[in-house]
Amino acid sequence: MLWVDKHRPKTLATLDYHDDLTKRLVTMSSAKSLPHLLVYGPSGAGKKTRIHALLRGLYGNTVDKLRLESKTFTTPTNRKVEINMISSNSHIEMTPSDAGIYDRFVIGTVLKEIASNAPLFQSKTGVPFKTVVLNEVDTLTKQAQAGLRRTMEKYTGVCRLVLVARNSSKVIGPLKSRCLGIRLSSPTHDEITSILISTASRENLTLSPALALSISQLSSRNLRRALLMLESAHTMDPDLNPSMQVPRCDWEEYIVRLASEITAEQSPQKLLQAREMMYELLTNCIPAGVIMRTLVKELMKNTDDSLKHEIVKHAAYYEARLNGGSKEIFHLEAFVAKFMACYKEYLTNLFG
Amino acid sequence: MPNTEMMDLEDPPPTTLDMDSDDDFVAPTEGPKRSLPWVEKYRPKSLTDVAHQTETVATLTNAVATGNLPHLLFYGPPGTGKTTMALALARTLWGPRVYKDRVLEMNASDERGISIVRNKVKNFANLTVSKPTPEDLKDHPCPPFKLIILDESDTMTVDAQSALRRVIESHSRITRFCLICNYVTRIIAPITSRCAKFRFQPLPGESMKGRLLEICSGENVTVTPEVLAKVISLSNGDMRSAVTTLQSCYNLTSGGNVQVSDVEEMSGRCPSKAVEPMWEACKSKSFSNMQTAVEDLVCSGYPGVEILKALSDLVVTSPLLNDEDKARVCVKIGRADKTLVEGADETLQIMDVGGNIVKAFEGKRI
Helix A268-283 and helix A288-301: axis angle, to 10°? Answer: 130
Residues of chain A in contact with residue B152, where contact means CB-CB under 8 angstroms, are: 146, 149-150
Which residue of chain B has the CA closest to A108? Answer: B109
- Can you tell me the mean pLDDT for B139-164? 87
- Write the residue in B35, B108, B244 that is nearest to A149 by C-beta: B108
CB contact under 8 A, A312 and B352: yes
What is the model's pLDDT at position B15?
33
If you count residue pairs, one on A and one on B, with CB atoms under 8 Å apart, how many are there? 173
Q: Which of A153, A312, A319 to mutate against chain B (most B CBs within 10 Å)?
A: A312
The letter for the amino acid at B68 is N
Please list every residue in chain B whose beta carbon sits closer than 8 Å to the beta carbon of residue A293: 345, 347-348
* HEC sequence for chain A: CCHHHHCCCCCHHHCCCCHHHHHHHHHHHHCCCCCCEEEECCCCCCHHHHHHHHHHHHHHHHHHCCEEEEEEEECCCCCEEEEEEEECCCEEEECHHHHHHHHHHHHHHHHHHHHHCCCCCCCCCCCCCEEEEECCHHHCCHHHHHHHHHHHHHCCCCEEEEEEECCHHHCCHHHHHHCEEEECCCCCHHHHHHHHHHHHHHCCCCCCHHHHHHHHHHCCCCHHHHHHHHHHHHHHCCCCCCCCCCCCCHHHHHHHHHHHHHHHCCCHHHHHHHHHHHHHHHHCCCCHHHHHHHHHHHHHHCCCHHHHHHHHHHHHHHHHHHHHCCCHHHHHHHHHHHHHHHHHHHHHHHHC
Most B CBs within 10 Å, among A17, A39, A172, A177, to test the B interface: A177
Q: Which of residues 234-293 of A touch B (CB under 8 A)?
A: 289, 292-293
Instruction: Measure CB to CB from residue B299 to each of A146, A153, A185 and give the nearest one.
Output: A185
Residue of B nearest to A139 (CA): B343
How distant is the Cα of B133 from the closest Cα of chain A, in angstroms?
A: 31
Q: Among all residues of chain A, which has the CA nearest to that of B354?
A: A309
| Confidence band, pLDDT 50/70/90 cuts, at residue B358 | very high
B6 contacts A120? CB cut-off 8 A: yes
Measured between beta carbons, which residues in chain B are less than 8 angstroms from residue A107?
none
Q: What is the mean pLDDT of residues B93-99?
A: 83
The torsion angles phi and psi of A222, rounded to 5 degrees, stand at: -110, 110
User: Facing residues of B175 across strands?
Assistant: B146
- Cβ separation B78–A184 shorter than 8 A: no
How far away is chain B from the Cα of A181, in angstroms, using its nearest Cα? Answer: 6
Q: Which of B151, B345, B361, B364 to mutate to test the interface with A (most CBs of A within 10 A)?
A: B345
Disruptive mutation site among A97, A169, A223, A339 for chain B (greatest number of B CBs within 10 Å): A169
Q: In what order do the strands lie in the sheet with B103-106?
A: B103-106, B146-150, B175-181, B72-75, B196-199
B11 touching chain A per CB within 8 A: yes
Q: What is the pLDDT of residues A227-238, one digit of tens each?
A: 998 888 888 888
Contact A118 B5 (CB under 8 A): yes
Mark which residues 82-101 of B lie under 8 Å from A by CB.
none
Q: Closest to A116 (Cβ–Cβ): which among B10, B109, B152?
A: B10
Task: Decide: A188 and A219 in contact? Cβ < 8 Å.
Answer: no
CB pair distance less than 8 Å for B301 and A138: no
Q: Does A296 touch chain B (CB under 8 A)?
A: yes
Look at residue B7 in the predicted model and tell me its pLDDT.
Answer: 38
Distance from CA of A321 to the nearest CA of B (A): 8
Q: What does pLDDT average to over chain B? A: 82
For testing contact with chain B, the best of A152, A290, A301, A309 (most B CBs within 10 A): A309
Residues in A 63-122 with any Cβ partner in B closer than 8 A:
76, 104, 108, 112, 115-116, 118, 120
Q: What is the pLDDT along chain A (352 residues), one digit of tens a residue?
A: 888 888 888 888 888 888 888 888 888 888 777 888 999 988 889 899 999 999 998 888 888 888 898 888 888 788 888 888 898 888 899 998 888 888 888 888 888 888 777 766 666 677 788 889 999 998 888 888 888 887 887 788 788 899 999 888 888 887 887 888 888 899 999 999 999 999 989 888 888 888 888 888 888 888 998 999 888 888 888 877 877 788 788 888 999 999 999 999 899 999 999 999 999 999 999 989 899 999 999 998 878 888 888 899 999 999 999 988 888 999 999 999 999 999 999 999 888 7
Supply the pTM of this predicted model. Answer: 0.79
| 8 Å CB contact of B344 and A320 | yes
Q: How far is B165 from chain A (nearest CA, A)?
A: 23
B301 and A293 in contact by Cβ < 8 A?
no
Q: CB distance A155–B295 less than 8 Å?
A: no
B323 touches chain A (CB under 8 A): no
Q: How far is B174 from chain A (nearest CA, A)?
A: 27
Under the banding of pLDDT at 50, 70 and 90, the label for residue B254 is: low
Q: Is the pLDDT of residue B309 over 50?
A: yes
Q: Does B250 touch chain A (CB under 8 A)?
A: no
Q: Does B79 touch chain A (CB under 8 A)?
A: yes
pLDDT, tens digit, 9 for 90 and up, residues B168-219? 888 888 899 999 998 899 999 999 999 999 999 888 888 899 889 999 888 8
Residues in a beta bridge with A161: A132
Helix, coil or strand: residue B145: coil
